[in-house]
A and B are shown apart, each in its own frame.
Chain A
Amino acid sequence: AQSVTQLDSQVPVFEEAPVELRCNYSSSVSVYLFWYVQYPNQGLQLLLKYLSGSTLVKGINGFEAEFNKSQTSFHLRKPSVHISDTAEYFCAVSENAGNMLTFGGGTRLMVKP
């Protein structure tokens, strides 16, 4: 069965600094991978997704993620964060193009001035 681990529950970072949010998954079959962002009191919004092809995926708001099959990782990165990036970030996986998404526990990104 698929599972997703987000290694950091909270990541504090100063404004304009780079950030990496880590995500590892466990699956023995082909996967689709996703990152979602949840702003306070809001629903989830898709940041980016990996379905196939290039392992470097670019998303909205300057975020990107790299799929590493050998390390079963899909880390999210941004070269320079803004205060407005403060939110909860969720990594999710779907096996074999199935319709069920399994989410990680989330990482709270706290951007400080």
Chain B
Amino acid sequence: DIVLTQSPATLSVTPGESVSLSCRASQGISTGIHWYQQKSNGSPRLLIKHASQSISGIPSRFSGSGSRTDFTLSISRVESEDLSVYYCQQSFSMPLTFGSGTKLEIK
């Protein structure tokens, strides 16, 4: 199975700052990474597909980059509503797997 390692586990930021969340794959997966946001007691929401493609209805401050084994979710000008856990998911091979998540805390 492809293992996804997300770092850091927790990130504390001040509103208005920009942040980068990392997702590293245990083998090359081209651009087969997708990002989700999960708010406390909520369901996951798709943020980015295919490593860097935007999703309709998602604020433009969310962007993705990377290929092969190293991927980044960037959030520019963090807002308090961005308090969530962020997961990456690979679709290069079955079983589909998720990273363990990065929890974004707002200072």
Same complex origin of A and B: no
